[in-house]
Amino acid sequence: MGSDEAKTRGRALLALSCAAQFMVVLDVSVVNVALPSIQSALGFNAADLPWVVNAYAVVFAGFLLLGGRLADVWGRRRTFLGGLALFTAASLAGGVAGTAGLLTAARAVQGLGAAVLAPATLTVLMAAFPEGARRTRALAVWTAVGIAGGTAGNLLGGALTEFLTWRSTLLINVPVGALALVAAVKLLPADTGRASRPRLDVPGAVAVTVGLGALSYGVSRFADGGGHGLAIAAVGIGITALTAFVLIEWRAAGTPLIPLRLFTSRAILVGNAVMLLTGACLNPMWYFLALSMQNVLHYSAVQTGLGFLPHTLLSIAVGTWLTPWLMRFVRHQLLIVGGALLAAAGFGWQSALTPGSGYLVGIAGPAILIALGSGLLNTPLTTTVTAGIDPADAGAASGLMNTTKQAGAALGLAVLVAATGTTATTPEQLAAAYGHAFLLIAAILTAAAAVAFAIPGRARQLASTGSS
């Protein structure tokens, strides 16, 4: 294959990977603006409404590690196609669901499809681009598209809910997924045969999913008066299941979900700790921002979606252009720390929102700091936790990275919902409750910045190595 042909194929694979990643991340946030409409249509109560978001996030997080190993064991092509097909089918089921339970179940199956698909998108990129400047640029685009998916989900969700119906926020995945399937069949190379296929660690995947789900459910139930017995029981089940997961991984034969050798790297260990903390902030923020705009400022669905434009445009600009350039000259560690602190300052500002706040001061101003901070930290953090990985462990490393981010999102939303309570009804009470959530997010991001100081401070790292 000639150089020009290889570059063209690389760009096509980058576009396919980014399209699939965009869908996966989009569905974390696309239902946020539609939540009031979903609550009214299907009868969700205030305590269960977060599970429209968390059913997806918990299953996504729990099975991401298994999804990462599937890419290594079954092959990138089979895993990519299987995950994409499952995700698309579950989107159709969710879009036509007639009850709260069916929608929650469909969102959980969507999460399973996403857990298989998301690691495959990253391993496709890592196979297409060797370590060096081209991979760094590809990762920057992939990361920026992920950020854009989260932010654009709110804009798209608002427009679809306002002009069509909340169901279209899920049904839109069906034609996009079908087109991506056709492209994947044509672009992805056939998987190479293996003499033997290691046994997959399904018990580990089940244990971590049950653990995260039960723990998230239990924490969120502490917000309900009189429900503490059930909450304590759920938390106990969650801790037990997560302990079982650690024991399963310690003794796993064949292909463990988490090869323990990955944790011999301080960059991977500390980087994933920071990923967990930032995931607990930067994903749940869409839930609280969407409700703040609709329930406190009384914006319509489309106004709420448009209200997220500063988050979308600035995060794309920073993540795609500014951050990769800065990574040539500034240590990754410093970009991560600085980005987390900038975002924390933005959330501190956001906590001051009141029913009388104007858009510029109440939403757009904090958005500048939040988007600038998140755009600065995401690409160097992604590069930190994927650099220097043995190709045999590429799927596991990407699965671990995505798992920590999504586990943080699920647990973070549960903690934040419990901290804000579910009894507020007036705009003033809701503004105060959401303000508490934003202050807690600011505190968690400050803690993430402190932890990031332990990341190895390799100047310029792989961002400036090579040009292939």
Residues 6+ positions from 251 with CB-CB distance below 8 Å? none
pLDDT of 468 over the 50 cut? no
Is residue 200 helix, strand or coil?
strand
Return the pLDDT at 198.
58
Q: Transcribe 289-341 into DSSP letters.
A: HHHIIIIIS---HHHHHHHTHHHHHHHHHIIIIIHHHHTTTS-HHHHHHHHHH
* pLDDT tens by residue, 17-32: 888 888 888 887 788 8
Percent of the chain with pLDDT over 90: 17
Structure tokens of 173? Answer: 């995945």
pLDDT at residue 297, rounded to an integer: 92
Check if the beta carbon of residue 239 is closer than 8 Å to that of residue 219: no
The Cα 77–Cα 89 span in angstroms is 18
Query: How remote is the C-alpha of 87 from its chain's centroid?
Result: 15
Q: Residue 22, SS3?
A: helix
Is the pLDDT score of 111 beyond 80? yes
The residues with which 216 forms a beta bridge, in sequence order, are: none
Q: How far apart, in whole angstroms, are the C-alpha atoms of residue 387 and residue 463?
A: 10
Range with lowest mean pLDDT among 110-119, 159-168, 348-357, 411-420: 411-420
- pLDDT, tens only, 135-166: 777 777 777 777 677 667 777 888 888 888 88
The Cα-based distances of 245 to 64, 215, 256 in angstroms read 14, 14, 11
Whole-number Å distance between alpha carbons of 428 and 423: 12
pLDDT at 459: 37
Distances (CA, A) of 176 to 24, 164, 330: 12, 18, 38
Amino acid 45: pLDDT: 74
Q: How far is CA 63 from CA 147, 172, 282, in A?
A: 21, 24, 21
Q: What is the pLDDT of residues 222-261, one digit of tens each?
A: 766 545 777 788 888 889 998 888 888 777 665 677 776 7
Kindly tell me the sign of the dihedral angle through the C-alpha atoms of 299, 159, 170, 116.
negative
Is residue 295 within 8 Å of residue 431, measured between CB atoms? Answer: no
Rounded percentage of the chain residues whose pLDDT exceeds 70: 86
pLDDT band at 346 (very low <50, low <70, confident <90, very high): very high
Q: Which of the four pLDDT bands, split at 50, 70 and 90, describes residue 283?
A: confident
441 pLDDT exceeds 50? Answer: yes
How far apart, in whole angstroms, are the C-alpha atoms of residue 449 and residue 460?
19
Amino acid 412 reads G
Give the mean model confidence (pLDDT) for residues 161-176: 89
Q: What is the pLDDT of residue 466?
A: 38
Say if residues 441 and 285 touch (Cβ distance below 8 Å): yes
Q: Which amino acid is at 44?
A: F
Q: How far, in Å, CA of 320 to CA of 298, rounded? A: 33
- Comparing 284 with 132, which gets the higher pLDDT? 284
Averaged pLDDT, 333-355:
92
According to DSSP, the residues that pair with 255 across neighbouring strands are 200
Domain parsing of the chain, residue ranges: 15-188+255-463
Task: Evaluate if residue 344 carries a pLDDT over 90.
Answer: yes
Mean pLDDT of 393-401: 69
pLDDT of 255 reads: 64
What are the two backbone dihedrals, phi and then psi, of residue 210, each rounded to the nearest 5 degrees? -60, -40
Mean pLDDT over each residue of the chain, to the nearest integer: 81
* pLDDT at residue 20, as a whole number: 85
**Residue 228 CB neighbours (<10 A):** 12
Q: Say which residues have a Cβ less than 8 Å from residue 347's Cβ, sequence separation at least 6.
A: 281, 285, 366, 370, 438, 439, 441, 442, 445
* pLDDT (tens digit per residue) in 52-65: 888 888 888 778 77
With both helix axes pointing from N to C terminus, report the angle between 202-221 and 394-420 in degrees, rounded to the nearest 10.
20
Q: What is the DSSP letter of 389?
A: -
Confidence of residue 396 (pLDDT cuts 50, 70, 90): low
Among 461, 195, 220, 158, CA closest to 330: 461
What is the mean predicted confidence (pLDDT) over 268-283? Answer: 86
Domain 15-188+255-463, CATH class in plain words: mainly alpha
Given a contact cutoff of 8 angstroms between Cβ atoms, the answer to whether 255 and 73 are in contact is yes
Checking if the pLDDT of 87 tops 90, the result is yes
Choose among 173, 107, 161, 167: nearest CA to 293: 161
Identify residue 262 by its one-letter amino acid code. L
Contacts 24+ apart (CB under 8 A), 261-266: 261/393, 262/389, 262/393, 262/396, 262/397, 262/400, 265/388, 266/454, 266/455, 266/456
- Is pLDDT larger for residue 191 or for residue 436? 436
